Structure 1
């Protein structure tokens, strides 16, 4: 038995064209989103996946203990401040090792020079060496460790921390308040 087509072919054709147009618009929108500028962290001193240069190592590893130059661009819209952290997830502590936490960097900050002191309004927290500032990599001999240099784009003007706060707390608060982050991961292995 032949049933009549309930949707005339002209109407079906218009529906297909409308669906194709919608798909094309959606694809274009997704393409624009995919090509949007990413929040990135760059450094004249560090290269992704490469060893940490001696200038930036802790003195016990024959280093200069100088923080590297860092520069970032394309932070997420709505960024009101930044935080910088340096974390070693491979430290044999069970919780990693915090080398640096710098919080409350003003929203118009886009770079820190090599050996930077905290800019006006920013605050360095106590790292796992007990120092309020940068302390470079210097793991126990043997295993290669990774060092995650991260800039956090934050929703808040300031993280509510005092000068005695630990870097670990600053890192946790930055992660919780982040609109986005960008990281350079470098490595170092101390000879036996």
Structure 2
């Protein structure tokens, strides 16, 4: 069986994220394609984070209870049945890259889970990680780059 993959038509792994997906652009989520979800997966979870933020890890977007057969997350939308958790700004929505200086990595992590999570939308990334513990069947990631000099501030 092939390994689960997360890709985007908007940018390649370890390449620049186009400005329209950043805080200086339209600040919308990019299209994400999901391939080779393992059989028996009950739901998917997605976390987008910046490990290079000045004050430590910064969570830009968390979504869970995504249908395993969804195939893709459409640009500028969130799957209807899913739950959007709180990002580091305290909002239940996508927050695009906005590096204050230098080049930052923005890592989209996709998790295939053997359960549908019973977790409220008030949950944080930490609470999501606790709920997913021992339920992860597969993982995939996609890293995009953004620099202050790209127009994002």
Q: Give unpaired runs (5+ residues) of structure 2.
A: none
CA deviation vs aligned residue, 1:78-118 (integer Å, no higher than 9, x gap): 21100111011111223x01000010112222211101133
Match of 1:25 in 2: none
Structure 2 residue 52 is the aligned partner of structure 1 residue 90: yes
Q: Which has the larger radius of gyration?
A: 1
What SS does structure 2 have at the residue aligned with 1:68?
Answer: coil
Within 5 Å, give how 1:105-124 maps onto structure 2: 105-120=66-81, 122-124=82-84
Task: Point out where structure 1 has 5 or more consecutive residues left out of the alignment.
Answer: 1-35
Name the count of aligned residue pairs: 150
Bigger relative contact order, structure 1 or 2 (CA pairs below 8 A, ≥6 apart)? 2
Residues 19-98 of structure 1 mapped to structure 2, 5 A cutoff: 36-58=1-23, 62-94=24-56, 96-98=57-59
Give the equivalent residue in structure 1 for 2:95: 135
User: Relative to total residues, which structure has the larger helix share, 1 or 2?
Assistant: 1
* TM-score where L is the length of structure 2: 0.89
For the 8 Å contact 1:152–1:175, the answer to whether it is kept is: no
Does the 8 A contact of 2:37 with 2:68 survive in 1? no
More strand by share: 2
Partner of 2:142: 184
> Structure 1 residues 152 and 190 mapped into 2: Cα distance closer, same or farther (>3 Å)?
same
Q: Aligned-pair RMSD on alpha carbons?
A: 1.7
Runs of 4+ in 1 over 4 A off after TM superposition: none
